[in-house]
Amino acid sequence: MGDRAAALFDVDGTLVDSTYLHTVTWWEALRQYGHEVPAHRVHRAVGLGTGPLLDHLLGEGRDRSDDDAMDAAHQALYTALWPALRPLPGARELVRACADRGWTVVLATSASAREVARLREVLDVDDAIAHHLDADSVEAAKPAPDLVHRSLEAAGAPPERAVLVGDTAWDVDAAAKAGVPCVAVTTGGWARTELHEAGAAAVYRNAADLLESLDASLLSDPFPQPA
C-alpha cells in the first residue's frame, strides 16, 4: 500500500436514486419464476451481489437452475428504467469535494460493469473518480469484503487511511470486515438507528447532509496532522 487516502463510495442508493427501481425489478423477476417475495424483503436485499441476494431471499439450499434467468430478467427490467435514474441530492458535489481535498475516490459497487457504465453517465463526475470496482471485478460481492479490499489496492491506500460511504447494513458489514470505517446515508431506505446498530461510524440523511458536515466528518482531511 502507498501513502494515499481513499474515499470509497457505494453507488446504488448512496449516490444514485436507484434502490427502489432495483426493488421493483427484482420483485417482478422473482415473480416471473414463481417466487412471491414481499417487496419489503426484496428492498432489504438490495445492495447484495446477485448470488447473496438470491440466497438471502430464497435460501441457500434452493434449486439454483433459474438463478441466471432471474438475474437476466432483473437486468432487462432494470435497464428499461435507466432513463429514470438520477443522482441523489449532493452526490456530485460530495464526490468532487472529496477529490478536491485529496482523497483518492473509488466507486465500490455490487453492480455489474455494464450498470456501472450507466451509473457513471448519470453521476457525470468522472473527472473526480480515480477508480471503480464492480461485481465483475471480484469473486464475492458484498457483504464479503473483497470489493473493499480490491478498492484499497486500486487506490494504493491502507484500511486505516480509508472511509467507505454506503447506504445499507451490507456496506457497513463489508467495510468492517476489511477494517474500514463506514459513513452511512439513509437514502437507501435503511433507518438511522439500523445503520448505527450495524456499526456505521456516523449516519447522515443524504450526500448533501454529509457534504454540509464534511469538516466535522471522517472525510474532513485525508492527511490529518498528528496532535
Q: Which residue has the cell 464475492?
A: 140
Q: How many domains does the chain have?
A: 2
In angstroms and rounded to an integer, the radius of gyration of the C-alpha atoms of the chain is 17
pLDDT digits (tens, 9 = 90+) for 164-178: 999 999 999 999 999
Could you tell me if 75 and 94 lie in one domain?
no
pLDDT digits (tens, 9 = 90+) for 95-109: 999 999 999 999 999
Q: Confidence band (pLDDT; 50, 70, 90) for 14?
A: very high
- CATH number at 40 reads 1.10.150
Domain membership flag for residue 92 = yes
- C-alpha to C-alpha distance for 190 and 25, rounded to whole angstroms: 19
Could you tell me if 12 and 111 lie in one domain?
yes
- C-alpha to C-alpha distance for 55 and 39, rounded to whole angstroms: 16
Domain membership flag for residue 225 = no
pLDDT at 226 over 70: no
Domain membership flag for residue 149 = yes
Contact 148, 169 (CB under 8 A): no
Domain boundary among 84, 110, 132: 84
Amino acid letter for position 221: D
Residue 73's domain spans which residues? 19-84
Question: Shortest CA distance to 6 belongs to which of 206, 216, 220, 155?
Answer: 155
Q: How many CB atoms lie within 10 A of CB 133?
A: 25
Contact 111, 74 (CB under 8 A): no
Domain membership flag for residue 212 = yes
Could you tell me if 116 and 211 lie in one domain?
yes
**Residues of the chain by 3-state class (helix, strand, coil), percent to 5:** 50, 15, 40
Q: At what angle do helices 19-32 and 50-58 cross, to 10 degrees?
A: 60
Domain boundary among 67, 84, 101: 84
pLDDT digits (tens, 9 = 90+) for 31-54: 999 999 999 999 999 999 899 999
- C-alpha to C-alpha distance for 1 and 80, rounded to whole angstroms: 41
In percent, how much of the chain has pLDDT > 90?
89
Could you tell me if 13 and 72 lie in one domain?
no
Q: What confidence score (pLDDT) does residue 1 get?
A: 52
